[in-house]
Amino acid sequence: MIDTHCHLDYLDDPASARGELGLTGLVCIGASVQHARNAVKLAETLPGVWATVGIHPGDSAEDSPEARAELEALALHPRVVGIGESGLDDYWDDTQRPAQMAAFDWQLDLARRVGKPLVIHTRDKAGADSAHLGVMDMLRGWPDVSVILHCFSGHAGLLHFGLERGPHTYFGFAGNTTYKTAREIQAAAQNIPLGRMLLETDAPFLAPVPKRGKPNRPGYVRHTLEFIAALRDLDPDELERITDANAERVYGMYATPSAG
């Protein structure tokens, strides 16, 4: 079982996540310069751990020539399998859209140059979709970059756009898929082609039912797997096989040298 998106360096004991609930691999997301350093260090030292490097839209103020130079160097590391998470976030009142867009555009270009997928964060206020529309506008200029729509919201427009964009666009489903109110996310999880689905935790955030309200753990991706398997009337082992193969394909995980 692979957790395709977690913040392993936020855990008190990152090594303890390996192997829990059958976990065999995980991708630690480096969403700022410091977290990118942490992610790469963990990927170098812990078997079954890979990293991404980038600037989260909420941290776009740290985008600078110096930050870009360091992240470009880290992006070439053999244990780094993706860029980001990047994207657009209009949830907060102090959103700095020009800075977010500049960082997003640069990371799209970096992903293209190094040939690794871009992990995309998209978040709006309830009832709004400016960030979702903005992500679609940005991606239209980069049709050949592989992307992962992390913690997919179920937004109908982005779903249609991503499916039409082609097989190098993947949808990541996190623990919030299991929440009673997540009807749009569940509808998307029930209907998208299985070859485009990834499973993730976003640990330590968004713990799935039955762990909701507690700090999330990478191994809890299994709860999301079992929930979606039931939605789709699939054997969980079959869904695990498919989504793990998807993760290995988009990230090129086992084409990289092993840690340890």
Report yes or no: 45 and 215 within 8 Å, Cβ to Cβ. no
Q: Would you list the DSSP string of 101-165? A: HHHHHHHHHHHHHHT-PEEEEEE--TT--HHHHHHHHHHHT-TTS-EEETT----HHHHHHHHHH
Task: Record the tokens describing residue 83, joined without a space.
Answer: 């860029």
Question: What are the backbone dihedrals phi and psi of residue 125, each rounded to the nearest 5 degrees, phi first?
Answer: -65, 155
The answer on whether 160 is annotated among ligand-binding residues is no
The answer on whether 223 is annotated among ligand-binding residues is no
The answer on whether 240 is annotated among ligand-binding residues is no
Task: Record the tokens describing residue 40, joined without a space.
Answer: 């790469």
List, in order, residues 6 or more apart from 127 with CB less than 8 Å away: none
DSSP state of 258: P
Give the ranges where 166-231 is alpha helix by DSSP (H): 183-191, 221-231
The answer on whether 150 is annotated among ligand-binding residues is yes
Task: Tell me the binding residues.
Answer: 5, 7, 85, 121, 150, 202
Task: Tell me the binding residues for a divalent metal cation.
Answer: 5, 7, 85, 121, 150, 202
